[in-house]
Chains A and B, each alone.
Chain A
């Protein structure tokens, strides 16, 4: 069964400046939705509003048509990876896996070079490894939707590739909204793509549209061709 999350009529202002204006976006389990936009266009703000930790002037978040005030308070519904590391540094990595009900042994069997010591504390890991573990846990913890804000930052190219595979795997069970300035990766991973521009959201069908939307320079030619699958 497909589950849908609809974020509708989102309006958000800061000190009289309108950041988001009448936004509508739909996520669906089994699909990856990319969200691009220049700096300061409100990508993170939109994610926080969908997650439920930021209250806008107006919003309607519906899961399978049912209105939900604060999605993050619902059990096994939604997770959100913010731009920064957010897990406590003094916690053992194994405890974090228990907290999020994710099998540590599966992780170790695939990424032994990251979690080589089960007594390792989260704060003892490098920035990239911390980012990798946070994203892994939020992707594979039980739930229907995951919002990823810059999951590729601090990751080396090989890790970015591994992360892309993990996101694809997780998307079989979940609906994923992903935003990052490594836009080539977003184009490669996403099934559908939106661009935020001047407070409005625009559905993107091709690279050409991405350039005309003002996100990419018009002269820029991307190696990755995006074709919307919807």
Chain B
């Protein structure tokens, strides 16, 4: 039980660190989400494929930029036991968790 509790604690800590990395990218990600929502409001359902591609490509570019131009800071996360893959996946998941509800509910 104690080991399980310790593992869960570690697991939540890692999510917390990944969320912090996402935080460093939150302004450009939110701007893209807002632009997508605006396009959807103005041009309607027909724009959904284009919006999804736009969101996918822009998020990939922001992650790539962050990995290449903020390389130094990545060592902070590496020292906390978090890989590049987890950071990238974390950005994608959290971004989509914001993007999809915004698109669905606000429209």
Contact = CB atoms under 8 A, between A and B. Distances in A.
B83 A86 contact: no
B76 A80 contact: no
A159 to B, nearest CB: 21
A77 to B, nearest CB: 8
B71 to A, nearest CB: 9
A73 B83 contact: yes
Interface in B20-59: 20, 24
Given A88-B24, A99-B17, A72 B76 contact: no
B107 interface: no
B81 A86 contact: no
Contacts, number: 39
Contacts of B79: 72, 79-80, 86, 100, 138, 141
A82 B72 contact: yes
Given A73-B83, A74-B81, A75-B81, A86 B76 contact: yes
B36 to A, nearest CB: 27
A138 B81 CA distance: 13
A75 B83 contact: no
B78 A87 contact: no
A138 B73 CA distance: 15
Nearest to A138: B79
B81 A88 contact: no
Nearest to B16: A99
Given A70-B83, A75-B81, A84 B72 contact: yes
Given A72-B83, A79-B79, 13 more contacts: A53-B75, A72-B78, A72-B81, A82-B72, A82-B75, A85-B72, A86-B74, A86-B76, A88-B20, A88-B76, A99-B17, A99-B80, A141-B79
Interface of A: 51, 53, 70, 72-75, 79-80, 82, 84-88, 99-100, 138, 141
